[in-house]
Amino acid sequence: MSASPLEAPDRRSSNRRSGGWALLALVGWSLYVWSTRIKNVTGDATASSGSKAFSIVLSLTFLAFAVAGAVVLVRAWSRPLARVEALVLRAFAAWTVAVWVVRIPMIALDDRSVGFKVVHAVLGVISIALAALVWRSTQRVGAGDESLPAVSAG
């Protein structure tokens, strides 16, 4: 049973707003975190060339996902999210979670200061939380009703 057209806008606009803001936050956060990572690793005289290359390539994957997320946000600003757009956002969210689930323990076990470990754990937890919100905002897309707006800021 579907909601009447008069009831649907309240529920849907609420979902739109939260999904749009979560995506905007994940895009901005990822741009900040991973561009800072590139700046830090290129200025690190103690890091090996291989370590620098790995960090830069990893960071570039996040920057590419952030740009893709921004494109999706702009395109879906005033219309429902398309299935392929939802898949891009889910890939972004899944990649974010996967990388941080690996990085947080690696950093925790590394020979670094407690402050460094805490800061990076917080970066990871915030990234995972934003990714989870973005994933949740795409749940209804592709579940048979492509007309449901999952992510939009409008």
User: pLDDT (tens digit, 9 = 90+) per residue, 48-73?
Assistant: 999 999 999 999 999 999 999 999 99
Residue 27 pLDDT class (50, 70, 90 cuts): very high
Report the distance separating Cα 36 and Cα 45, nearest Å: 16
Report the distance separating Cα 7 and Cα 108, nearest Å: 49
Q: Are 149 and 79 in contact (CB under 8 A)?
A: yes
Q: H helices of 45-151, where?
A: 49-75, 83-109, 114-137
Residue 12 pLDDT class (50, 70, 90 cuts): very low
Task: State pTM to two decimals.
Answer: 0.80
